[in-house]
Amino acid sequence: MGLLDGLLPAYYESILITVGIYIILALGLNLITGVTGQLNLGHAAYMCIGAYTSAIMSMHYGMPFIVAILAGGLLAAAFGVVIGYPTLRLTGDYLAICTLGFGEILKSVLYNVPAVGGAMGLAGIPPKTTLTIVFIVMIIVIISMVRVESSRFGRALVAIREDEIAAECNGINATKYKLQMFSLGCFIAGIGGALWAHKIMVLQPRDFGFLKSIEILNMVVLGGLGSIPGTILGATVLTSIPEILRFSSEYRMLLYGALLVAMMIFRPHGLMGGVSFNSIAKRGMRWLKPGDKPDDKPGQKGMGG
Amino acid sequence: MLVVENVDVNYGAIRALVDVSLEVHEGEIVALIGANGAGKSTTLRSISGLVKPNKGRILFEGSELQKCPPHKVVEMGISQVPEGRRVFPLMTVLENLEMGAFTRKDRANIKDDIDKVFAKFPRLEERKKQPAGTLSGGEQQMLAIGRALMSKPKIMLMDEPSMGLAPMLVQEIFNIVKEINQSGTTILLVEQNARMALAVANRGYVLETGQVVISGAAADLAKNEAVQKAYLGV
């Protein structure tokens, strides 16, 4: 452990950790909103559950970091099931409003629960998040997302996004798959939140409001809904831009906004819409060996009867 | 094989189906004809589980369907070619066909069955790597039929397969319906194009404002004066 830590100046290391955590969060949302097409405006709520749970686990119960992270993920997933079960029957705007509502309710509840610090928040969380840990978790999340994408489960999710009724007519249990997908996305958000909590060491309910959800959604949309490499790129770009733009001091967020608008005008499907690791690999193969198409099936087609 | 017994379907206060009963025997093509809003599609949707009947029973090979969710209905051997085709637009033709085989356990035979679909619809093979949304209406209909065949259904429910197609294609689609039936799949066909539907069907039911008003052998229906007047434009 600790291979990557201390190699870079603290400032860059901190930015890289933030980028890594946002990649994790955005990949969770990409599964829900990008791959399956269920607009979720409350992703920060699940991040928040993961953050608070893990913080309490390590502060009050002295649990090892890995246990705290998993507990955060699991509780977020459990909330995902409880919230998802009634709301995933809704579609489009209705689902969006419900997820948004849950985020705001959670925030209000946290403001009023003294046990988790209320409006003062939780302070004194041990700084256990290191670049190495974030990097490892990020790689695990990326690999699992790529595997989900090419699995039977992933195909079913895409079918649901494309046409839910047609998906059901083809024997896909849309309710079940949506619920499994949603809780998996929330689990990842919870893990991201746990890493976040142990990086910034102070949690306040207002950090997990609507704006945070939109920030993560921006990354997914900018990168290209449903595209894993796109989501990674989107999270990287949007996390680093505010840092890069620091030279412009107070105009920073203005430039950030203008950049977002410009990107959506010139790349409406996101930076890498429709691009997957698989398609990148295929294109690379073709580029390396021109004239040799690896995805073409050899031989004659069998005769039907 | 398939029995619909005294089924009522209400959409809120609107009564879409009133006491509808019909039967489909193995090996048949049964046509369900009627005007817009007569309840044809609702009948199909209640069989495939997309809407729940408020009253009545639906039996398939003796087991009750009316409480089954759509994916269970597919597993039992009923597949639906939905109204308006509903192919997955961003998936390729090949991927669409693979989705059709979603419920199957015999993974190994799927490839052969895709080849069979391609043999039936050579145009789909030419376009197998194209996103389905870029196909013409007729090709999308063929894909929707091919996709429904991929689940190896015992009975296929077809909702307005000729809708929005050029007359030549309509003829082609009906020939395909006949072929599929001859290779052993029972078909329940919903159509506004009553003439064509009755020409391929064995038996027919005429729906009017949610009720079955006339039923009988397709040839007899085609000769029935009331049917001719209302649906065949004679």
Segment B124-152, tens digit of pLDDT: 999 999 999 999 999 999 999 999 999 99
User: Domain locations in chain A?
Assistant: 10-209
Residue A304's pLDDT is what? 32
CA torsion through residues B66, B69, B75, B77, sign: positive
A301 near B CB under 8 A: yes
Residue A180's pLDDT is what? 96
Cβ of B102 and A173 within 8 Å?
no
Residue A294's pLDDT is what? 44
Enter the ipTM: 0.89
Rounded distance between C-alpha atoms, residue A225 and residue A33, angstroms = 7
DSSP B219: H
Who's near B74: CB < 8 A, 6+ residues apart? A169, A170, A171, B48, B80, B103, B151, B153
Nearest-CA distance from A187 to chain B in Å? Answer: 27
Rounded distance between C-alpha atoms, residue B129 and residue B121, angstroms = 15
CATH number at residue B26: 3.40.50.300
Rounded distance between C-alpha atoms, residue A134 and residue A127, angstroms = 13
Task: At B30, list the tokens.
Answer: 């049964």
Residue A90 CB neighbour total at 10 angstroms: 14
**Average pLDDT over all residues of chain B:** 92
SS3 label, residue A234: helix
Rounded distance between C-alpha atoms, residue A279 and residue A286, angstroms = 11
Select from B70, B91, B115 the Cβ nearest to the Cβ of A162: B91
A169 near B CB under 8 A: yes
CB pairs under 8 A between A and B: 83
Average pLDDT over residues B58-71: 92
Rounded distance between C-alpha atoms, residue B15 and residue A8, angstroms = 71
Report the residue of chain B nearest A171, measured CA to CA: B71
A162 near B CB under 8 A: yes
User: If pLDDT is split at 50, 70 and 90, which confidence band does B65 have?
Assistant: very high
Report the residue of chain A nearest B81, measured CA to CA: A169
Chosen from A152, A169, A282 to mutate, greatest number of chain B CBs within 10 A: A169
Select from A155, A156, A162 the Cβ nearest to the Cβ of B90: A162
Residue A277's pLDDT is what? 84
Rounded distance between C-alpha atoms, residue A254 and residue A272, angstroms = 24
pLDDT of residue B110 exceeding 90, the answer is: yes
Which residues of chain A carry a pLDDT beneath 70?
1, 249, 290-305
Q: What is the pLDDT of residues B181-215, one digit of tens each?
A: 999 999 999 998 898 999 999 999 999 999 999 99
- Side-chain-side CA neighbours of residue A190 (13 Å): 26
Query: What total of structural domains would you count in chain B?
Result: 1
Judge contact between A273 and A225, C-beta under 8 A.
Answer: yes
Rounded distance between C-alpha atoms, residue A251 and residue A206, angstroms = 24
- For residue A34, the chain B residues in CB contact (below 8 A) are none
Cβ of A169 and B70 within 8 Å?
yes
Residue A303's pLDDT is what? 34
B88 near A CB under 8 A: yes
Domain hosting residue B125, numbered range: 2-232
- For residue B116, the chain A residues in CB contact (below 8 A) are 304-305
Q: Of all helices (H) and strands (E), which one includes residue B42?
A: helix B40-48
Residue A250's pLDDT is what? 76
Burial status of residue A79 (CB atoms within 10 A of its CB: 0-12, 13-18, 19 or more):
buried
Task: At A228, list the tokens.
Answer: 């894993």
CA torsion through residues B217, B219, B224, B230, sign: positive
Residue A244's pLDDT is what? 83
What part of A 258-297 touches B (C-beta under 8 Å)? Answer: 274
